[in-house]
Structure formats: C-alpha cells, structure tokens
Amino acid sequence: MEKLKIIWSNQAKEALRKIYEYYKDKSLSGAKNVKSDLLKAPKTIYFSKQYQIDDINPKYRRIVVRDYKILYKEHNNTIQIVDIISTKQSPDILKNK
C-alpha cells in the first residue's frame, strides 16, 4: 500500500499555531503534548476514507483529537489538512469554515 502524502494548508498551520499559543500560556508541556497529538493524528490515515465525513462540512473528513477536529480532503494519494477546529465552538460558527 502506497503511503499517503500529507500537506498542511496555511489555514491549518495557523490554527495549530494558535492552539499551541493558547495552551502555552497555561503549560508549556501541555502545549507541546497537544501539538504533538494533533501532528501525529494525520499520520494514522492509511486510506483516504478511513475517517468519517464531517457532519457540518460534508466536503471534508474529520479526525477527532482531544477537543479538536482535523478536517481533511484527499486528492491523488495526497491528504490535505484543511483546518483544525475546536469541537467546543457553536455549530453555526463551524458551518462558515
């Protein structure tokens, strides 16, 4: 089985940075752990349809990690990480992502 290439969008990178900064204010080790978990999760994708279609954004699939969902799409054996969204946000806010 060919390994899928993972590409992070600028939006997803920025979301990851903001999440890290949020946790860093509380605990540096906690921030590192959350960031590590979020970075590792996409590496568990072995085939593009492995995870569920997102309820709110059905054009994407999602991986749930802690209080976040990582939205991704697949094209030509490449997984594009589109965004990381807090699951604590209002569904109305999430629809506009």
Over residues 43-74, the pLDDT tens digits come to 998 887 788 999 889 999 999 999 999 999 99
Instruction: Give 38's pLDDT tier (boundaries 50, 70, 90).
Output: very high
> What's the rounded mean pLDDT across residues 33-44?
97
Instruction: Give 77's pLDDT tier (boundaries 50, 70, 90).
Output: confident
Q: Supply the mean pLDDT for the chain.
A: 91
Instruction: Give 90's pLDDT tier (boundaries 50, 70, 90).
Output: low
Provide the CATH number for the domain formed by 5-88 in this structure: 3.30.2310.20
Tokens of 25: 């204010």
Reference 64, options 80, 46, 88, 91; nearest CA is 88
- Whether pLDDT at 85 is above 70: yes
Answer for the pair 71, 83: CB distance below 8 angstroms, yes or no.
yes
Percent above pLDDT 70 for the chain? 90
Through-space distance between the first and last CA atoms of the chain, rounded to whole angstroms = 32
